Amino acid sequence: MKVAVWDTYVTKKDGTVMHFDILAPDYIKDEKTIYVFGKEYLRSKNQENQLLTARECSFCHIGKATDEMEMGIRQKGYYIVEMQGCE
């Protein structure tokens, strides 16, 4: 499965930065849909209401999903790769 990788940096409530990638099927081109995915993830990390716009989240590249990523996308519509500050 080809996925679009959206590179995302969000300032957390404590002022530190979360860096994560939002992976979604490559045919999803609507930024607002990607932001919905990101906001859902932020809620799961108790970071709801943090700013998530084109400034924080931008398309990076197209890649190939691993089996784990593909399973997550089938379940939720997207997959998150936590990079930094996501604990």
* CATH number where 22 lies: 3.10.510.10
- Average pLDDT, stretch 2-28? 97
Residue 1 belongs to a domain: no
- Average pLDDT, stretch 64-85? 97
pLDDT band at residue 56, thresholds of 50, 70 and 90?
Answer: very high
Tell me the per-residue pLDDT of 63-72, one tens digit each, with 9 for 90 and over: 999 999 999 9
Tokens of 35: 């932001």
Range of the domain at 60: 9-84
Residue 21 belongs to a domain: yes
Residue 2 belongs to a domain: no
**What is the model's pLDDT at position 84?**
97
Residue 75 belongs to a domain: yes
Residue 48 belongs to a domain: yes
Residue 54 belongs to a domain: yes
How many domains in the chain? 1
Between β-strands 2-11 and 57-64, what pairing exists: parallel, antiparallel or unpaired?
A: antiparallel
**What is the model's pLDDT at position 68?**
97
**What is the model's pLDDT at position 69?**
97
